[in-house]
């Protein structure tokens, strides 16, 4: 099958980009011809049947980048139509067979953010043309029916698309993300735990909480740090990802919070940690949840993440209603500091992740392709 994948660019620390890269490589490994349409992309893949097509775009700011990318990809993909069996977009563009709603609904992110900011920042949102552009692109895609099928990466996203844009539920297929259960597995602990802990001068006996994600405001770093400050026992927090560190470091007090920056060998950081906490304001799904579960880490997240749909309270971790529920987050951490409880939930976490293998995901995607091509 000749498959076109649209995604603006690849960055090693971007969860959605990493997922797209893995997806492309696994399709190619199964013998499919994959054509990547992007502004730029990592070219160190090993499969010979992956082809990169540069989409010209004006990249000097995000507004012009997204608008020019959407416009350029429209004309290029229309010309390539006869050469491709399926065109799937992972970005907001005007021409595709399948629109995979990686970022959910921008209007819902703005709504959640609006509730948590002051007057000046609200004015900043209102006058920022980028937000209006993204809302315009979403409206064109959803209300203009620029798709044969939408993939929602959670029921949470599907509900938002229906509520905000009136899309018929029959046009939306919910397919949860997949995870590489070989790369992310509990066996990594004996391989990498000591290496990463030594790197940051963390003792083997220390209780380590991991956060992974770029975009600290949306993903709730402030709430995580405030929650651990409620815990009397010492803990260490590893924050992996890109964000304004000084802005969030000020919330730390007694507890040790380490900003590690973006990391390519992220599987080692899961291996070095005891639990994963992600108190997000808005997250369509979040591959990091599956990576943590596959690594055998119990997960604490919020109801505002699509991944909360698969996590059961006191089984694989805990789901709190709002990120502001820092008392509940702290309570969940305290329970998991009990080694027996943590071990029990670790086994359940790994067991759950095995239902979301990348092989299973690829099978579902190919089935969908066959139904619409």
Give the CATH number of the domain where residue 55 resides: 3.40.50.2000
Same domain, 153 and 7: yes
**Tens digit of each residue's pLDDT (9 = 90 or more) over 123-169:** 999 999 999 999 999 999 999 999 999 999 999 999 999 999 999 99
Same domain, 164 and 201: no
pLDDT of 15 > 70? The answer is no
Cα–Cα distance list, 197 to 129, 152, 204, 264 (Å):
44, 37, 7, 16
183: in domain: no
- φ, ψ of residue 150 to 5 degrees: the values are -105, 135
pLDDT at residue number 41? 75
Q: What does the pLDDT look like over 237-290, one tens digit per residue? A: 999 999 999 899 999 999 999 999 999 899 999 999 999 999 999 999 989 999
pTM of the predicted model, to two decimals? 0.93
Report the percent of the chain where pLDDT is more than 90: 88
pLDDT value for 65? 96
- The answer to whether residue 147 is domain-embedded is yes
Is residue 210 very low, low, confident or very high in pLDDT (cuts 50, 70, 90)? Answer: very high
The two tokens of residue 211 are 């956060």
Give the pair of three-digit tokens for residue 180: 């590489």
Residues 109 and 134 in one domain: yes
Nearest to 284 by CA among 62, 96, 70, 103: 103
What is the average pLDDT across 82-92?
A: 95
Domain of residue 112 covers 2-178+357-372
Residue 235: which pLDDT band, with cuts at 50, 70 and 90?
A: very high
Q: Are residues 203 and 280 in the same domain?
A: yes
Question: Are 361 and 351 found together in one domain?
Answer: no
Which of 127, 85, 89 lies closest to 8 in space, CA to CA? 89
**Number of folded domains in the chain?**
2
């Amino acid at each position: 099958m000749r498959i076109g994948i649209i995604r603006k660019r690849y960055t090693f620390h971007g969860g959605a980009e990493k997922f797209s890269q893995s997806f492309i490589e696994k399709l190619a490994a199964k013998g499919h011809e994959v054509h990547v349409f992007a502004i730029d992309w990592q070219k160190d893949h090993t499969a010979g049947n992956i082809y990169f097509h540069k989409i010209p775009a004006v990249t000097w700011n995000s507004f012009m980048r997204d608008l020019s990318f959407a416009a350029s990809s429209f004309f290029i993909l229309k010309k390539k139509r006869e050469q491709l069996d399926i065109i799937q977009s992972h970005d907001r563009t005007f021409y595709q067979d399948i629109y995979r709603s990686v970022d959910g609904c921008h209007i819902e992110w703005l709504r959640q953010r609006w509730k948590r900011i002051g007057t000046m920042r609200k004015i900043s949102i209102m006058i920022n043309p980028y937000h209006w552009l993204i809302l315009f692109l979403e409206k064109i895609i959803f209300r203009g029916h620029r798709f044969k099928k939408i993939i929602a990466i959670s029921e949470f996203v599907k509900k938002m698309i229906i509520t905000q844009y009136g899309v018929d539920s029959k046009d939306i297929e919910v397919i949860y993300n997949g995870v590489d259960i070989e790369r992310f597995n509990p066996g990594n602990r004996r391989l990498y735990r000591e290496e990463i802990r030594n790197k940051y001068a963390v003792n083997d006996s220390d209780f380590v909480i991991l956060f992974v994600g770029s975009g600290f405001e949306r993903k709730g770093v402030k709430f995580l740090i405030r929650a651990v400050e409620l815990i009397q026992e010492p803990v260490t927090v590893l924050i992996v990802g890109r964000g304004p560190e000084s802005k969030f470091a000020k919330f730390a007090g007694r507890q040790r919070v380490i900003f590690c920056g973006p990391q390519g060998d992220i599987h080692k950081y899961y291996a070095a940690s005891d639990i994963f906490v992600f108190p997000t304001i808005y997250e369509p799904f979040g591959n990091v949840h599956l990576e943590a579960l596959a690594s055998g880490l119990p997960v604490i997240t919020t109801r505002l993440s699509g991944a909360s749909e698969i996590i059961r309270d006191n089984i694989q971790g805990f789901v709190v209603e709002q990120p502001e529920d820092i008392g509940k987050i702290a309570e969940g951490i305290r329970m998991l500091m009990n080694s027996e409880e943590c071990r029990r939930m670790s086994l359940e976490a790994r067991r759950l992740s095995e239902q979301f293998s990348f092989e299973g995901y690829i099978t579902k995607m190919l089935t969908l392709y066959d139904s619409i091509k």
